[in-house]
Amino acid sequence: MISVELVWSPQAGTVHRFDLQVPQGSTLGQALQACAEFQPMQVRLAEFKLGIWGRQQPAETVLRERDRIEVYRPLTVDPKEARRQRYKDRGERIVSRHRPLAGKTSR
């Protein structure tokens, strides 16, 4: 048996996390089926993307010890547009932490 972690967010502001014990050689899809808490979400599985440690993976991916399975729901709004709207509503200027390299030349 190997230990893996399952994390998903069914809606904004909510995160579910579960530790699972699955047989060695299990796939990502098999681990999702083995999790009783995830069973209500199985019917919607086709609309989600799956990943391990932040990298998208197919359901046939074989799991390793201490993998973190992540289930990504579809975005409801463009992240850039949401940020613009938040700052517009607050009346603050959008300030980036990264400065453009304008004016610098490579040597």
User: Model confidence over 56-106: pLDDT tens digits?
Assistant: 888 888 999 999 999 888 877 788 888 888 787 777 666 666 666 555 555
Q: Taking the C-alpha atoms of 28, 32, 35 and 38 in order, what is their torsion angle to the nearest 10 degrees?
A: 150
Predicted local distance difference test score (pLDDT) of residue 100 = 60
User: Model confidence over 10-66: pLDDT tens digits?
Assistant: 777 788 888 989 999 888 888 888 877 777 676 667 778 889 998 988 888 899 999
Residue ranges of domains in the chain, CATH in brackets: 2-75 (3.10.20.30)
Predicted local distance difference test score (pLDDT) of residue 16 = 86
Predicted local distance difference test score (pLDDT) of residue 11 = 77
Q: Which two tokens stand for residue 9?
A: 């967010």
